[in-house]
């Protein structure tokens, strides 16, 4: 039996046809593939989808952590900036008093 090499796009198109209502038996006949091959493609697509969802959740968690870190650093910077301005102000006042 010759091995059919389908591209990823073609596999997804075949899976989409099944989602639109065609029976698996008809699709297998049309594209000359076995039902086990079809189910293997379907399982691979589901695993890929699960991996994408897992990665999205991980990225969202990391994004939230980075936003919190940025907010903390930003507030620290503002506090230090205000402190520096106050120190500069008092430094100039002390210099004026000494003169």
Give per-residue pLDDT as tens, 22-79: 899 999 999 999 999 999 999 999 999 999 999 999 999 999 999 999 999 999 999 9
Residue 4 gets the label, from left (phi > 0), alpha (psi -120 to 50) or beta, of beta
| pTM of this structure | 0.58
Please check the confidence at residue 97 and state whether its pLDDT lies above 90: no
Neighbour count for residue 24 (Cβ, 10 Å):
14
Which pLDDT band holds residue 96 (cuts at 50, 70, 90)? confident
């Amino acid at each position: 039996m010759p091995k059919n090499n389908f591209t990823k796009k073609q596999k997804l198109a075949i899976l989409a046809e099944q989602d639109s209502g065609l029976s698996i038996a008809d699709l297998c006949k049309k594209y000359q593939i076995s039902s086990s091959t079809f189910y293997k493609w379907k399982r691979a697509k589901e695993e890929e989808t699960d991996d994408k969802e897992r990665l999205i959740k991980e990225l969202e968690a990391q994004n939230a952590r980075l936003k919190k870190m940025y907010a903390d650093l930003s507030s620290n910077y503002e506090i230090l900036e205000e402190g520096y301005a106050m120190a500069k102000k008092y430094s100039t006042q002390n210099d004026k008093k000494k003169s």
